[in-house]
Amino acid sequence: MAQQDGPMALTQLTEDERMFRDTIRQFAGEQIGPLVRGMDEAQHMDASLIKKLFALGLMGIEVPEEYGGAGGTFFEAILAVEEISAVDPSVGVLVDVQNTLCINALVRWATEEQKLRYLTQLATDTIGAYALSEASSGSDAFALQTRAVKRGDDYVLNGQKLWITNAKEAGLFVVFATLDPAAGYKGITAFLVERGAAGFTLGKKEDKLGIRASSTCELVFRDCVVPASQVLGEPGKGYKIAIETLNEGRIGIGAQMLGLAQGAWGHAAKWARERKQFGKALVEFQAMQFQLAEMATDIEAARLLVYNAARMKDAKLDFLKEAAMCKYFASQVAERVASLAVEVFGGSGFVKDYPVEKLYRDAKIGKIYEGTSFMQLATIAKLILGKS
């Protein structure tokens, strides 16, 4: 079934998946579309929209039904991120972090008590955030300075986290800290920290180039007491939790960038059909036809990579290489397609009255977060060449 105003998606969807995708596409166009510019300018996610995302079940796609979720697949979460990001990548990353990072981490690693308490919340009214990054640990994500010290039945956290997506809206944070810096990755532990915990405050909110409606904030921990029952997984297993969830998160970002590229292409194609120069529509010029065709081909290639990686994850196959490839390629395609879309619009593409300017700004983050393009290439090279 063809994307609206876009190239044919060759990866087959089941009837249920098509219905799911079409429902989200309609929702995104009707409910998110009118809010995009206002949210971008205000750098704020509309609260009523968040409620609608929960009501539609998009904030708990993979949460099992016994915990109040949709009991869906990872592939369905990827479809949701793609379709929403075609309208607004800021909302796309809100849904992505919730599903592919936070919920995935709890479904895999939480105790039954933690699942009953937190998966139920995440599926119904609570946003999650994933707190790994720090000032000194960019691509070296596990050079953590945030410390966790065991005191009786509790842990005491001290440190700062930077660039935490969803932080302003989140009610639950998956926080990574080290028990022993000398132990390297073996000391890293994941904690479930609730908003409002004593000693935990929200710091600076970043003023960003793109995805401005998506909150990105600093987290500050000063003698924050976290009960031992709030450890996710086991002490010292945080590295494994982070690696596994980030591998899945890469596919989510691939889907976000895929959706962004599709949205930019749709706007460009519509403009080319309507805009007249020298007495005929832009789309009648062969140069424009070729440019749109090349953009569409790149988008379809990215879609195949993203869908394949998501299918492999659901099939419980090893998808590390495919996740790195789809994240790398989709982010390249998104930046290129969004840039060309601005050029299709000409001078109109350079102003905020038209949507491609925002998508061009939004595209840049795809090469940076959840593993830079260089880190994806390093992973790919290691897996295909066998280098350590």
User: Distances from the Cα of 49 to the Cαs of 28, 32, 58, 321, in angstroms?
Assistant: 10, 7, 12, 35
Q: Annotated catalytic, 248?
A: no
In 3D space, the residue among 131, 216, 219 whose CA is nearest the CA of residue 176 turns out to be 131
CB-based contact 78:306 (threshold 8 Å): yes
- Rounded to whole angstroms, how far apart are CA atoms 131 and 123? 19
Enumerate residues 6+ apart whose C-beta is below 8 A from 82.
Answer: 92, 255, 256, 258, 259, 262, 306
| Phi, psi (deg, nearest 5) at residue 115 | -65, -45
Q: Which residue has the tokens 């539609």?
A: 56
Q: Catalytic residue among 134, 218, 248, 370, which?
A: 370
Catalytic (active-site) positions: 370
